[in-house]
Chains A and B, each alone.
Chain A
Amino acid sequence: MSETKKGRLVVVGTGLRTTGHMTVEAIAWIKRADVVLYVVGDPVAEEMIAALNSNAISLQTLYSSDTKRIDTYNLMVDKILEQVRDGLEVCGVFYGHPGVFVYPSHEAVKKARSEGYSAVMLPGISAEDCLFADIGTDPATTGCSSYEATDWLFNLRPTEPASAMVLWQIGILGNEGYNPGGRYPTPMMPLLIAKLGQYYPLTHKVAVYEAAVQFGCTPTITWVPISGLATAMLTAASTLYIPPATQSVPDHAVHQQALAMGVMPE
């Protein structure tokens, strides 16, 4: 068994809104780390991190208008790894779930492991977790697929109208940048509507959803027909939730086989 080097990385998330979404485990790791490196856009999270650990450094300052986003992310990874290589116990804190729509967190964990350091990522509360709670739907009932909207539009992803589907970042469809809460032109929306029309009636009601990111506030849920997406008010934080449009089709062949094997429940 190979020996793990001194120096350790634990990546945690602040949840979508810090107050109420911080896990006890994340708080504990921030508290006990030798150094905390964080990327949060929220003053409550920043305040909390500063209160829990006096040796906390923001990586937000690495963003700059003349640096490519991927270069900034790689710089963040380097900064995190520098501290791990110094033999320190490092806590990386990211907004939301640290592993959902976050590149540098995954990359830092991979890199630290590849260099022989202990590295783990702890789950946080993501927008998807909020969506299931706020819309009141259980993905276990009919299943639920989840895609980034532009990715779904431009790729042949399996699409099953008898299951729910979530399309992320519908408000920045076709845009490369990302500004949470910002509004972008979405000239590709007619293409998305047309593609959805291949699977769903255009009258099918879908929810434009935005989780509440401020403590004590309510989420925004607007139901519109698919055809209404052309004029719906979308922001970069908008997510599209499409409930099932058809009944599930039983797989009769498997039913028959299960019956024949005598393993079919009553």
Chain B
Amino acid sequence: MNYDDFLSHRAMVRDAVRTTAFRNAIAAEVKEGDVVLDVGAGSGVLSLFAAQAGAARVYAVERSPTATALARHLVAANGLEKTITVIEGDVRQLQLPEQVDVIVSEWMGTLGIDENMYGAVLWARDHFLKPDGGRIVPVSVTAMAAPVSTAQRVDAAFFAERPWGIEMGPLQENTVNDLLMSRRRVEPGDLAAKPQALWKHTALADGPETVRGTTRGELTFKIDRKSETTALALWFEADLGNGVALSNAPDQRDTHWGQMLLPLVSPLSLAKGDAVHVEIDAWPVSPGPLMFAWKWRVNDGPNTQLNTTGQHHGAPQMQGQEAGFDAARRSPLSAFLAGLAVDADRLAGFLADPDAAMADAGLEGKYADALRSQDAERIGMALFETGGAA
């Protein structure tokens, strides 16, 4: 999602389910005199709630210049300039004069971590939150999943039907390798099986590597009615603390998130009692949202297909087992370092002349720069990045 426009912030603030839940959670969590850090503050609405709740000082950090300007206007309009400091920039470059009692952040994408913002919250926690007694809103976010039978494949079906007599098959393939994102409402009746938890993130307990590596989920669903399954629907259930919950589940009130759909190329005709095994990998590509790869297996049969986001701009679609699940998320840097690990001559060559060794291997751009930096965090990020200069 692009946050550098008013439209998206307006939509988020107008989302009464989301905004009211955060107001209630912040009112319960922030105590008189607390110092609060708002990570990815956007319009600053959570910071304003924190000030309302009695915070002595609030630091609202936001990367988008447009949103920062918006937040400053709102803070001024509410006469809270002395309480709320709006800072434009990345929280990872931030210097704060004090540690904070509470971190608030609305970091969730449609299924939780998909907007790749959770790492910033963990970074802020490790650098600014008081180690003993510091609190975070939300407390935890669980990604939920269920196979669904929806009309959402209509795009793919449309392209398959040679509209206007034109072959549009490639667009069909591209369509299923894209996430069908927000505002596509899944009805509770679309679910073909009972939803299950895919993974859970707990802000005070997760290590920073949680978001550096691949987040992997594997579930087996028992189909509870005959259906033409078209996709896996994903959403989140967040515990905002103090008994306040927030979810964009199909059976909850509408939110601006809607649900995420990971579509199938062709619908699966499933009978009641069929077992559908789904594996999902999600991994960070900085900057930007997470990439996803997903595959399905029905009743221990062969893998139905493998889809990968980011394959829809001319790159060939990964289809079938032979493509290799893990191939989708390989970084040129990890391949290069793995090559050094098993070949002493290559390693000796690198130690003698790193630039020449990297050039010989075709390792360039951000990957080579990361290795040159000798910065563990930067190398760690690059190990999970794919695409771009190799």
Question: Is A89 interfacial (CB-CB < 8 Å)?
Answer: no
Q: State whether A48 and B338 are in contact (beta carbons under 8 Å apart), knowing that A180-B207, A181-B207, A217-B376 are contacts in the complex.
A: yes
Interface core residue of B207, B210, B380 (most chain A CB under 10 Å) = B207
A43 touches B126 (CB 8 A): no
Question: Is A105 interfacial (CB-CB < 8 Å)?
Answer: no
A179 touches B131 (CB 8 A): no
A264 and B157 CA atoms in complex are apart in Å by: 91
A52-81 contacts to B, CB under 8 A, are: 52, 60-61, 64-66
> Which residues of A are in contact with B by a Cβ distance under 8 Å?
18-20, 22, 24, 27, 41-48, 50-52, 60-61, 64-66, 177, 179-187, 212-218, 235-236
What is the distance, in angstroms, from B385's C-beta to the closest C-beta of chain A? 10
Interface flags, B356-390, vs A, CB<8A=1, else 0 = 00000000000000010011100110011000000
| Residues of chain B contacted by A52 (CB below 8 angstroms) | 342
A215 touches B207 (CB 8 A): no
In the complex, the chain A residue whose C-beta lies closest to that of B372 is A216
B281-303 contacts to A, CB under 8 A, are: none
| Residues of chain B contacted by A48 (CB below 8 angstroms) | 338, 341-342
B210 touches A19 (CB 8 A): no
> Which residues of B are in contact with A by a Cβ distance under 8 Å?
125-126, 131-132, 197, 199-200, 204-210, 213, 216, 218, 279, 326, 329-331, 334-335, 337-342, 344, 347, 371, 374-376, 379-380, 383-384
A60 and B326 CA atoms in complex are apart in Å by: 13
What is the distance, in angstroms, from A223's C-beta to the closest C-beta of chain B? 20
| Residues of chain B contacted by A61 (CB below 8 angstroms) | 216, 218, 279
| Residues of chain B contacted by A181 (CB below 8 angstroms) | 207-209
A101 and B206 CA atoms in complex are apart in Å by: 20
B205 touches A177 (CB 8 A): yes
| Residues of chain B contacted by A43 (CB below 8 angstroms) | 213, 329-331, 334, 383-384
Q: State whether A182 and B216 are in contact (beta carbons under 8 Å apart), knowing that A43-B384, A47-B335, A65-B199 are contacts in the complex.
A: no
Query: Can you pick out 21 interface pairs between chain A and chain B where the beta carbons lie within 8 Å of each other?
Result: A20-B341, A20-B347, A22-B341, A24-B344, A41-B209, A43-B331, A43-B334, A44-B337, A44-B338, A46-B334, A48-B338, A50-B326, A51-B342, A182-B208, A182-B210, A184-B205, A185-B204, A186-B131, A187-B132, A215-B337, A215-B340
In the complex, the chain B residue whose C-beta lies closest to that of A47 is B338
| Residues of chain B contacted by A217 (CB below 8 angstroms) | 374-376, 379
A20 and B132 CA atoms in complex are apart in Å by: 38
What is the distance, in angstroms, from A241's C-beta to the closest C-beta of chain B? 20
| Residues of chain A contacted by B205 (CB below 8 angstroms) | 177, 179, 182, 184
A42 and B197 CA atoms in complex are apart in Å by: 25
Q: A-B pairs with the 10 shortest C-beta distances?
A: A182-B207, A179-B207, A48-B338, A47-B338, A43-B334, A214-B379, A214-B376, A44-B337, A217-B376, A19-B341
User: B341 touches which one: A18, A187, A236 (CB < 8 A)?
Assistant: A18
In the complex, the chain A residue whose C-beta lies closest to that of B196 is A66
User: B210 touches which one: A20, A46, A179, A235 (CB < 8 A)?
Assistant: A179
Q: State whether A185 and B209 are in contact (beta carbons under 8 Å apart), knowing that A19-B341, A213-B376 are contacts in the complex.
A: no
A213 and B207 CA atoms in complex are apart in Å by: 15
A10 and B110 CA atoms in complex are apart in Å by: 44
| Residues of chain B contacted by A66 (CB below 8 angstroms) | 197
Q: State whether A19 and B340 are in contact (beta carbons under 8 Å apart), knowing that A213-B376, A217-B375 are contacts in the complex.
A: yes
| Residues of chain B contacted by A213 (CB below 8 angstroms) | 376
| Residues of chain A contacted by B380 (CB below 8 angstroms) | 214
In the complex, the chain B residue whose C-beta lies closest to that of A217 is B376
Interface core residue of A19, A42, A43, A215 (most chain B CB under 10 Å) = A43
In the complex, the chain A residue whose C-beta lies closest to that of B200 is A65
B383 touches A44 (CB 8 A): yes
A19 and B330 CA atoms in complex are apart in Å by: 16
A1 and B131 CA atoms in complex are apart in Å by: 59
B216 touches A216 (CB 8 A): no
| Residues of chain A contacted by B383 (CB below 8 angstroms) | 42-44
In the complex, the chain B residue whose C-beta lies closest to that of A22 is B341
A212 touches B376 (CB 8 A): yes
A65 and B197 CA atoms in complex are apart in Å by: 9
In the complex, the chain B residue whose C-beta lies closest to that of A63 is B216
Interface core residue of B279, B334, B339, B379 (most chain A CB under 10 Å) = B334
What is the distance, in angstroms, from A29's C-beta to the closest C-beta of chain B? 12
In the complex, the chain A residue whose C-beta lies closest to that of B198 is A65
A20 and B340 CA atoms in complex are apart in Å by: 8
A106 and B364 CA atoms in complex are apart in Å by: 41
| Residues of chain B contacted by A60 (CB below 8 angstroms) | 216
B376 touches A47 (CB 8 A): no
| Residues of chain A contacted by B216 (CB below 8 angstroms) | 60-61
